[in-house]
Structure 1
Amino acid sequence: MLEKELQKLGLSDKEAKVYLSSMELGPTPVQEISKKAGVNRATTYVMIESLISRGLMSSFEKGKKRFFTAESPLRLLALLRKEEAEIKDKMRNLEEIIPHMNTLLAKVEERPRVRFYEGKEGLKAVREDFLRTHDKRIETIYSADYIRQVFTDDERKEYVDKRTEKGIKVRSIYTFEKGTLAVKDKTATRCKIPVSKFPLFCDIVMYSNNVAITSLKGRLFGIIVESKEFADTMRSIFELSWEAAEKYKEKE
């Protein structure tokens, strides 16, 4: 029982055994402590040195032998009080520097965060990020032709279904040379514009405080820029484009 309690106070299992054995035996050579503690002699030496360094044991020589003895349990109390004082000092120091650290953190948070993705799996990861939007709306400009080349009908349907389940609405300006969209999307308001006049090779998406741009032709890659100012600016450009697109709107 005492061993467990001493372990709770910071002693190791073997330190507790050696300390209690020494306390029971009184001043005695290491081999006696080792035998009573059930710890091999070499390890007992290591434990004794550790306990001596913490003021919990001491040693003296008598004749040609070296004797070891446990110090009073009050030394444990003094040790804990010392540790308590050190912790309080550390807490005071931390409380003093936290405001300075928060200032540094705020400066970092002001910087736009940019993430880069490659390949089809990377573009899937970008799409999954759209679904984490907290304001339940997305604005996007894209080429349906290139989207169809990258993602299958099933993959596009799965994405639309997930977005619908989350109640995320989307407004899209898009081009599509080959006909009508195969995937029905009840949560989308779309404006189709002529590809001959407005060729698009990237997918641009605004969601929450993020702007995602993915390259759909040739090498597949995407970037997500996390910046409220950048996202708001891109939304303003989208609104301008949305109004202008009415002039060129094609039948779906």
Structure 2
Amino acid sequence: MIQFLESIGFTQNEARTYLAGLSLGYSAVSTIAKKAWINRTTAYAVLDDLVAKWFVYESYRGNARYYSVLDPENLLEVFRKRISKIEKILPELQAMNANIVTGPKVKYYQWFEEVKQLYIQEYKDSPIEMRIFKAWVERLDEKKKLRDFRKELIKKIHSNQVRIIGNTTSSTKEDDKKGNIERRNIQDSELFLPASIKIYGNKVHFVSLKNNLFGVEIENEDIASCLKQIFDCIWKNNNSLSI
């Protein structure tokens, strides 16, 4: 029971004194101190704190002070009042924290398994529309496995549209037929990207397939909007379709 009281904010001496007073009823300080295994001077200080917190009632008999613990149900009432006070001030606290809360959320992913989780998150998000800047770098072993895994997920994403800007190959044309995918073919001499970029909703994903494999997710409406507009501008001004 002492551990429980400590978990809701009591100090160890407060918990001992509260339980001692509860079991004794209306008692003098010396009696409560003995039961709680603390000295009388400490008991006075602890009981004063408990009185201030509305857990203990203080009264006098002559010049002597006596204490009685209030009904345990009062514990619940005290904490209800505290919660009510927090709820009233919460909007003001949230407003003070607005700059932090509304700032970009950034997550980092390293190596194959973590970057794989980034792709799985895209599948779970199931975006209505996805824009992709394809990376043009040589993919070896692990990176090829990741590419194949990504291709399978894109087919499963229930997007109204997946648009990809990148260098087109015969294999990508075949993949496009299996999903709602449209491409603009731009040679790497015109736009060479060492990392792929995916934009959907308020998220932007960067995945570097060059040297060390890693990914970055940025969740922010303004950043996503900027990249969507850049993508759409390139898309509009390039009519070379792969389909």
Instruction: Tell me which interval the TM-score lies in, with the shorter structure as reference length.
Output: 0.5 to 0.7
What's the % identity of the aligned pairs?
A: 21
Residue of 206, 211, 221 corresponding to 1:228 = 221
> Is the partner of 1:131 in helix, strand or coil?
helix
- Distance, in Å, in 1 between the alignment partners of 2:19 and 2:150 is 67
Q: Would the alpha carbon gap of residues 86 and 151 (structure 1) be closer, same or farther in structure 2, given more than 3 Å must change?
A: same
Residue aligning to 2:132: 140
- Distance, in Å, in 2 between the alignment partners of 1:106 and 1:87 is 27
Q: Does 1:118 align with 2:86?
A: no
- Superposition TM-score, scaled by structure 1 size: 0.62
Residue of 155, 158, 164 corresponding to 1:161 = 155
AA aligned opposite 1:239: D
AA aligned opposite 2:171: T
Stretches of structure 1 that go unaligned for 5 or more consecutive residues are: 1-9, 13-47, 61-65, 67-74
Answer whether contact 2:126 2:159 (CA < 8 A) is retained. no
- Distance, in Å, in 1 between the alignment partners of 2:79 and 2:203 is 42
String of CA shifts for 1:165-198, please: whole Å, max 9, x gaps: x34521110124x643253442111111112332
1:166-245 alignment runs, 5 A limit? 166-176=158-168, 179-181=170-172, 183-184=175-176, 185-245=178-238
Larger Rg: 1
AA aligned opposite 1:160: I
- Distance, in Å, in 2 between the alignment partners of 1:241 and 1:232 is 14
Q: What is the root-mean-square deviation of aligned Cα atoms in Å?
A: 3.5
- Superposition TM-score, scaled by structure 2 size: 0.64
Q: Would the alpha carbon gap of residues 229 and 84 (structure 1) be closer, same or farther in structure 2, given more than 3 Å must change?
A: same
Stretches of structure 2 that go unaligned for 5 or more consecutive residues are: 4-15, 29-33, 35-67
String of CA shifts for 1:71-105, please: whole Å, max 9, x gaps: xxxx78x4235325423431342133212222144
1:101-112 alignment runs, 5 A limit? 101-112=93-104
Q: Would the alpha carbon gap of residues 250 and 146 (structure 1) be closer, same or farther in structure 2, given more than 3 Å must change?
A: farther
Q: Would the alpha carbon gap of residues 131 and 79 (structure 1) be closer, same or farther in structure 2, given more than 3 Å must change?
A: same
Task: State the 1:58 CA deviation.
Answer: 7.0
Answer whether contact 1:147 1:216 (CA < 8 A) is retained. yes
String of CA shifts for 1:99-131, please: whole Å, max 9, x gaps: 222214433221111111111222212212222
Answer whether contact 1:140 1:171 (CA < 8 A) is retained. yes
String of CA shifts for 1:7-40, please: whole Å, max 9, x gaps: xxx899xxxxxxxxxxxxxxxxxxxxxxxxxxxx
Residue of 22, 30, 51 corresponding to 1:54 = 22
Q: Would the alpha carbon gap of residues 132 and 105 (structure 1) be closer, same or farther in structure 2, given more than 3 Å must change?
A: farther
- Distance, in Å, in 2 between the alignment partners of 1:121 and 1:86 is 49
- Distance, in Å, in 2 between the alignment partners of 1:116 and 1:186 is 29
Task: State the 1:204 CA deviation.
Answer: 0.6
Residue aligning to 1:35: none
Q: Would the alpha carbon gap of residues 168 and 147 (structure 1) be closer, same or farther in structure 2, given more than 3 Å must change?
A: farther
Answer whether contact 1:145 1:175 (CA < 8 A) is retained. no
